[in-house]
């Protein structure tokens, strides 16, 4: 059987609304903005994946999974060679039973969930529906999701078309190794601290400190996955004077230590 790939499979996902469509993809590609009437569970086996919605970009590290609710317009980019993206597109008939199914979320994957998702590879590019002897397995998998993780990881950066805000974001990215405080950044752009703080809240719905912390963590995740630099060097390059402080903040964002992500 010749694999047709995720982009070509997009029209097939919704063909049978009461089924689970299974898709295991091993490639590096961009899946442009699209939507489907099914909820999407995807496990990132290695490397990184990026999910972009209208106003946010989310980063999904290796050995994490994400849920995309039905009807959400999104772009998906699998950005590192040899990453495997294992996806299950679930019927949405009972999605109102739990708030988990109605929002986008990123979560660390347990060994149990990894094994269950890997098991579904035998049904790659197939619809598994009511009456199929394997359907109950997939129903159980979907039903367990709300109980696996109670908190979605905040691995996200907001987006904006605001010209001044974009300049400020670019400045922060290019000076990420430095001590970034609102007084210095506002002074650089000839603004008051209060004005800059209000700009972050109005355009990004996030505070200056929250944005800087998220930017540091996402940059660190990319460096851990894409380079062989020592963890200590990465900590300093993203603006942390202490490896311990960097590791603690990283754990709060990803539920794993930087060294754990490197091993994965």
**Rg of the chain in Å (alpha carbons):** 20
Contact 260, 61 (CB under 8 A): no
Domain-embedded: residue 153: no
Residue 1 predicted with pLDDT over 50: no
Residue 127 and residue 171 in one domain: no
Q: For residue 14, give the CATH number of its domain.
A: 2.60.120.10
Location of structure tokens 């007084």: 183
pTM of structure? 0.87
Residue 10 and residue 123 in one domain: yes
CA pair distance 26, 165, nearest whole angstrom: 36
Span 165-176, pLDDT tens digits: 999 999 999 999
Span 14-30, pLDDT tens digits: 999 999 999 998 776 88
Domain count, the chain: 2
Residue 107 and residue 174 in one domain: no
Residue 3 predicted with pLDDT over 60: no
- Burial of 132 by CB count in 10 Å (0-12 exposed, 13-18 middle, 19+ buried)? middle
Q: What is the mean pLDDT of the chain?
A: 92
Residue 170 and residue 88 in one domain: no
Domain-embedded: residue 154: no
Tell me the three-class secondary structure of 171-192, residue by residue: HHHHCCCCCCCHHHHHHHCCCC
Residue 38 predicted with pLDDT over 90: yes
Note down the domain range covering 205: 159-263
Residue 241 predicted with pLDDT over 90: yes
Residue 20 and residue 65 in one domain: yes
Domain-embedded: residue 239: yes
Span 100-122, pLDDT tens digits: 999 999 999 999 999 999 999 99
Residue 108 and residue 201 in one domain: no
Residue 141 predicted with pLDDT over 50: yes
Residue 15 and residue 126 in one domain: yes
Residue 41 and residue 136 in one domain: yes
Residue 13 and residue 144 in one domain: yes
CA pair distance 135, 41, nearest whole angstrom: 16
Contact 7, 24 (CB under 8 A): no
Residue 39 and residue 129 in one domain: yes
Kindly state the tokens that stand for 10.
């997009």
Residue 81 predicted with pLDDT over 70: no
End-to-end, the C-alpha distance of the chain in Å comes to: 31
């Amino acid at each position: 059987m010749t694999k047709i790939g995720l982009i070509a499979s997009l029209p097939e996902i919704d063909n049978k609304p009461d089924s689970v469509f299974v898709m295991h993809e091993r490639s590096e590609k961009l899946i442009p903005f699209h939507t489907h009437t099914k909820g999407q569970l995807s496990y990132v086996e290695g490397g990184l994946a990026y999910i972009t919605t209208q106003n946010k970009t989310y980063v999904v590290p290796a050995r994490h999974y994400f849920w995309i609710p039905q009807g959400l317009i999104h772009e998906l980019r699998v950005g590192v060679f040899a990453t495997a993206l294992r996806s299950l597109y679930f019927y949405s008939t009972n999605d109102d039973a739990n708030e988990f199914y109605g929002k986008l979320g990123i979560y660390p994957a347990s060994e149990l969930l990894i094994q269950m998702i890997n098991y579904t590879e035998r049904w790659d590019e197939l619809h598994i529906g009511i009456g199929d002897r394997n359907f109950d397995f997939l129903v159980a998998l979907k039903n367990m999701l709300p109980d696996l993780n109670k908190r979605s990881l905040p691995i996200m950066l907001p987006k904006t078309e605001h010209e001044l805000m974009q300049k400020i974001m670019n400045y922060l990215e290019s000076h990420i190794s430095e001590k970034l405080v609102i007084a210095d950044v506002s002074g650089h752009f000839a603004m008051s601290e209060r004005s800059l703080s209000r700009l972050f809240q109005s355009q990004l719905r996030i505070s200056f400190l929250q944005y800087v912390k998220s930017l540091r963590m996402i940059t660190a995740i990319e460096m851990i996955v894409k380079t062989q630099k020592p963890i200590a060097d990465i900590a300093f390059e993203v603006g942390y004077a202490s490896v311990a402080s960097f590791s603690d903040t990283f754990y709060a964002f990803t539920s794993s230590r930087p060294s754990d992500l490197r091993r994965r």
